[in-house]
Structure 1
Amino acid sequence: MNVIVAVKLYIEKMATEAGSGLKILLMDKETTSIVSMAFSQSDMLQKEVFLFERIDSGRSNEKIKYLKCICFLRPTKQNVALLSQELRNPKYGSYFIYFSNIIPRTDIKTLAQCDESESVREVKEIYADYLCVTKNMFSLNIPNCLSRLEWHPEALKRSVEGLTAILLSMKLNPIIRYRGGSYNAKELARQVNEQICKESSLFDFRTYENGAAPPLLIILDRKDDPVTPLLHQWTYQAMVHELLNINNNRVDLSQVPGIPKELKEVVLSGEQDEFYAQNMYSNFGEIGSKIKLKMEEFQQKAKDQRKVESIADMKTFVETYPQFKKMSGTVNKHVCVISELSNLTTKRRLFDVSELEQEIACKADHSAQLQRIKNIISDETISISDSIKLVALYALRYERHANCDTSGLLSIIHKRQGSTNIIPSLIEYSGQHARQGEIFNPIRISDAVKLTRKLIKGLKGVENVFTQHTCLLKETLEEVFKGRDLDPMYPTISSEVVPFRRPPKEVIVFIVGGATYEEALAVHQMNEAGFKVILGGTTIHNSDSFIREVLFATQGVQFKHTKTLAKFHSIENF
């Protein structure tokens, strides 16, 4: 199971079926992102696709009849209307139309009636209706999917479409389970099941005999694990998202002082960057050491005896040797990224903050932790946002502790002119009354008496990396693959008894309210161990986006699909 391969095969199919000759790819805002996550512009040029246009933007009416037009669109009413208008007055010689999901027959009939010039050669459904982030992770780019703690209707509809597409592209007809007690997870499971039943001919895949278990789709709720998205991360991919923000595999470095023009926005894609593919799950110290090793190899060739002992030395080295910069543009990019990560880590004292975060998450020691939190959040050198996250973790862990002093901590935040409404909203969203099970159960943390610190030697300025916390998802997957009874914690959407004795071989996990890169790491580790898991979510969170999700969900703010990410969907960034 590989979501990048699935999307690539669909796009290659489109380019191949259009035949040889010059082609244009006509997309909408969302399919632009879908394509750009799987292919670079140079990759598409090799498939004779020389132009890219958005159907929902202003376009010239100049006729270009020698071009073939590949239309890759989501099957929305707006896109059908825009395409109908295009076909009434065709700009290109021929049209090959591909919808990213199931399209109603009435819409196909509408398009046929508009094609008076008979310029349409193909109309097909392909099921690439999601963003392939890594080979085993996908996102629907739906931030803030809840309003007053319930699904926003448009977000629910889009989630059903996205999950239907992932199942069709993987050719899976799964047993569907959801987190018991979660209305939102149950409602999504119910509607996906209804869609599968409605389109039963599309889901007529292989059968499972001799006791083999069918694949499993398990729908979880973010509110059951609010701790994971609040913690600072130390693996490369997760750390970049936490501190710099990854949007559609792109990182904006334009605000970094002295950044070269060509690196103001960089692409971090495992498909287009071999170094990133090999190291996205490495921790901060390891990634620095591996870049240092590449520089030392070049030094031997250049017969340079200077020592590269720190991240600052790396930057100086790259600037001194233009030929290295030219030869190793990828390494230069990563030097700039980890340099900024290092600067932010030092400036925000994240080693100190992260150590306390991990202690709160993994060890119950109320009085000592309360005093340490007071000391840190009173320190003006610690950012307000990091201070609020520490208070949030404390409030979640000690919500019902006899001596809980959340109000005292909030008064310190208030004195520093920080927002205090986040904590009540978080408790409303995922306090003990809202969570199913207990993320701070003593059984889970009995071995976490002491934090483990990984000391990475060989690179100055990269200190101890904290790796104690284990996300709830990892334990859930371990239960699944051990063949444990999942009822009633994860009931099936159907009342039928599932007649199989073995654990599933293929599992798709979808998290309502967003997944995280720490959970992606857990899935990667499961796959490395021989299991088959794909992780998806309504969006991919860092701590800031998770806090926004909580505020939107509890305060009834209207759903606005991908508005905050609009600039990353433009043709210019394809």
Structure 2
Amino acid sequence: MDAVSAMRKYISKMIDDSGPGMKILLMDKETIGITSMVYAQSEILQKEVFLFERLEVPGRESMKHLKCVVFVRPTKENIELLIHELKAPKYGFYYIYFSNVISKQDVKCLAEADDQEVVREVQEFFGDYIAVSPHLVSLNLIGCRQNGQWSQEGLQRCVCGLTSLLLSLKKCPVIRYQNSSEMCRRLADSVKQVITREASLFDFRRSDVPPLLLIIDRRDDPITPLLNQWTYQAMLHELLTISNNRVNLSHVSSIPKDMHDLVLSADHDEFYSANMYNNFGEIGLNIKELVDDFQVKSKSQAKVESIADMKNFIETYPSFKKMSGAVSKHVTLVSELSRLVAQYNLMDVSECEQEVACHDDHSQSLQKIRSLLHNASIRNLDAVRLVMLYTLRYERHSNNDIFGLVGILRKRGVQEEWIKLVNSILDYGGQKVRTSELLESQIPINITKKFLRGLKGVENIYTQHQPVLISLLEQLLKNKLKESSFPYLGASHLRERPQDIIIFQVGGTTYEESSSVHNFNKMYSNNRILLASTCLHNFKSFLEEVDAATRYSLRGASNNN
């Protein structure tokens, strides 16, 4: 199961099927993001794509000599725009591909609008999701929860994205869902209805053990998105924000303009691919090796003393230039991460977070949090993070001082909307909501402080916490996940351990959980696990999620993932 490969095949086919000759690629706001995640613009240009345009942008130039490949979501707005486009076509011929199922009525409307008979193809290609990596999918949607229930728009988008993912992977799964979550049950029901209604589309060759779709709720683990992260990819998203595989550094005055918009693609960046799941200490060592290697190759490139040397330089220049760009990019990113870690005392903050999340020593945790809240170098964001963690951990402790900590936040000048979220986090994911053993009591143990280099697992003081997802996956792979907590939908049951597992997390997932899935896929070669979700959270976007859930509003997340 590889979401990136599935999406790349669709995009390649739609461009190649239009035949030879120069063409334009016409997309909407969402399909531009979908396409850019799996194909570099330079790659698409090699396929004779002359121009990229947005369907909703008015005043596009008429170029009748070009073919037009259309890739859009089958929304009401896009159908209306296409009808308008076909009545006054700007291009020679149109090859139209929808990212999901389109109704017969909409196809009929398009046919009636095609008076000049410029449409050569209308097809459904099921690419209605963001393929972040082979095992990770997002819908870039924040705030689909309203008063504990789905918003109409949120449910519809998740059903479309999830069924599209199943179709692109050619999976007709057995479905299980989190019994304590009405939203999970309703999404499971809605997906099953689509599978039943579109039975011919889901008529794939059956495997000995059917694939499994497990739908879970973010509210069962509100701790994971509250924590600072220490693996490269997760740190980048937490401190700099990754949006559709791009990091924007234009707000950092010390960084040159050519480094303001950096692309992070595991397919086109060997260093990122090799290090995205490594911890920060390892990254520092690996960056040094990358720079040293580059310096050696730079000196060899400088020795152009003969025709043979010149020929060798020309032949190796593209890879040399690519390496130069990778070195500059990652040195810039790691330097900025290091600056932020030092400036905001994030190692002290993270140590306190891990102690609250993983150990049960109320007095010591409260003392450390108070001390950090009085430290002026700690960001208000991290101050709120610590108080939220304390609130979740000790909400029912007889001597908790949530009120006092909130008072310190006010004295610090923390914005009131953030302070209100301290209480909102209990409504979102407090003990009355959760069913998992999120915060198991542990006897405080002495953990030797060590820097991150080369350390893994709970021995590293900064990475002791494990997401609830890990426990769920362990139970699934042992075929021991309780049916009372995660019932099957309908009559289908799995008697054997599933090999292909798709997990959909309502309310957002994190790069920490993605890293866990990556590690499971490495450890269990006979299993294939894919993690999909409404969005990819860092702490800021999770605050939006909690706010939306408790204020009952819907917000798009196109710039937050």
Structure 1 length-normalised TM: 0.90
How does 1:275-290 map onto structure 2 within 5 Å? Answer: 275-290=271-286
- Give ranges in structure 1 of 5+ residues lacking alignment: 305-322, 459-463, 569-574
Change (3 A) 1:278 1:516: same
Amino acid at match of 2:502: I
Contact kept? 2:176, 2:188, Cα under 8 Å: yes
Change (3 A) 1:485 1:391: closer
Q: Secondary structure at the match of 1:172?
A: coil
Change (3 A) 1:327 1:402: closer
| Counterparts of 1:340 and 1:562, CA distance in 2 | 25
Amino acid at match of 2:497: P
Superposed displacement of residue 452, structure 1: 6.7
Superposed displacement of residue 562, structure 1: 3.6
How does 1:357-396 map onto structure 2 within 5 Å? Answer: 357-396=353-392
Amino acid at match of 2:26: L
Amino acid at match of 2:14: M
Matched, 1:470 2:466: yes
- Residue 543 of structure 2 corresponds to which residue in structure 1? 547
| Counterparts of 1:451 and 1:98, CA distance in 2 | 56
Superposed displacement of residue 302, structure 1: 6.3
Q: Which of the residues 202, 222, 227 maps onto 1:226?
A: 222
Deviations 1:424-471 (A, max 9, x none): 1000111000111220133xx57x73447553569xxxxx87221111
Q: Which of the residues 479, 491, 516 maps onto 1:483?
A: 479
How does 1:533-544 map onto structure 2 within 5 Å? Answer: 533-544=529-540
Superposed displacement of residue 144, structure 1: 1.5
How does 1:183-198 map onto structure 2 within 5 Å? Answer: 183-198=182-197
| Counterparts of 1:401 and 1:511, CA distance in 2 | 30
How does 1:48-87 map onto structure 2 within 5 Å? Answer: 48-60=48-60, 62-87=61-86
Contact kept? 2:436, 2:468, Cα under 8 Å: no
| Counterparts of 1:58 and 1:280, CA distance in 2 | 40
- Residue 410 of structure 1 corresponds to which residue in structure 2? 406
Q: Report % sequence identity.
A: 48
- Residue 158 of structure 1 corresponds to which residue in structure 2? 157
How many residues align structurally?
Answer: 533
- Residue 561 of structure 1 corresponds to which residue in structure 2? 556
Deviations 1:204-235 (A, max 9, x none): 11224xxx431111111010000000000000
Q: Secondary structure at the match of 2:171?
A: coil
| Counterparts of 2:453 and 2:153, CA distance in 1 | 50
Runs of 4+ residues deviating >6 angstroms:
323-326
Superposed displacement of residue 147, structure 1: 2.0
Change (3 A) 1:335 1:107: same
| Counterparts of 2:474 and 2:502, CA distance in 1 | 14
Q: Secondary structure at the match of 1:254?
A: coil
Of stretches 145-154 and 540-549 in structure 1, the one that deviates more from structure 2 is: 145-154
Superposed displacement of residue 148, structure 1: 2.3
Contact kept? 2:174, 2:492, Cα under 8 Å: no
Change (3 A) 1:123 1:384: same
Amino acid at match of 2:71: F
Superposed displacement of residue 40, structure 1: 1.0
Superposed displacement of residue 65, structure 1: 1.7
Superposed displacement of residue 414, structure 1: 1.4
Superposed displacement of residue 59, structure 1: 2.7
Change (3 A) 1:179 1:271: same
| Counterparts of 1:457 and 1:497, CA distance in 2 | 47
| Counterparts of 2:351 and 2:56, CA distance in 1 | 48
- Give ranges in structure 2 of 5+ residues lacking alignment: 301-318, 455-459
| Counterparts of 1:450 and 1:502, CA distance in 2 | 41
Superposed displacement of residue 21, structure 1: 0.2
- Residue 311 of structure 1 corresponds to which residue in structure 2? none
Change (3 A) 1:327 1:282: closer
Change (3 A) 1:353 1:47: same
- Residue 306 of structure 2 corresponds to which residue in structure 1? none
| Counterparts of 1:516 and 1:563, CA distance in 2 | 16
Contact kept? 2:353, 2:389, Cα under 8 Å: yes
Cα RMSD (Å): 2.0
Contact kept? 2:535, 2:557, Cα under 8 Å: no
Superposed displacement of residue 366, structure 1: 0.7
Of stretches 212-221 and 166-175 in structure 1, the one that deviates more from structure 2 is: 212-221
Q: Which of the residues 517, 520, 531 maps onto 1:526?
A: 520
How does 1:454-465 map onto structure 2 within 5 Å? Answer: 455=451
Change (3 A) 1:43 1:450: farther
| Counterparts of 2:168 and 2:54, CA distance in 1 | 24
Q: Which of the residues 495, 504, 515 maps onto 2:498?
A: 504
How does 1:204-243 map onto structure 2 within 5 Å? Answer: 204-208=203-207, 212-243=208-239
Deviations 1:381-404 (A, max 9, x none): 211110111111111011111111
Q: Secondary structure at the match of 1:203?
A: coil
Q: Secondary structure at the match of 1:328?
A: helix
Superposed displacement of residue 298, structure 1: 3.7
Contact kept? 1:514, 1:541, Cα under 8 Å: yes
| Counterparts of 1:39 and 1:373, CA distance in 2 | 45
- Residue 303 of structure 2 corresponds to which residue in structure 1? none
Change (3 A) 1:507 1:302: closer
Superposed displacement of residue 196, structure 1: 0.6
Matched, 1:347 2:346: no
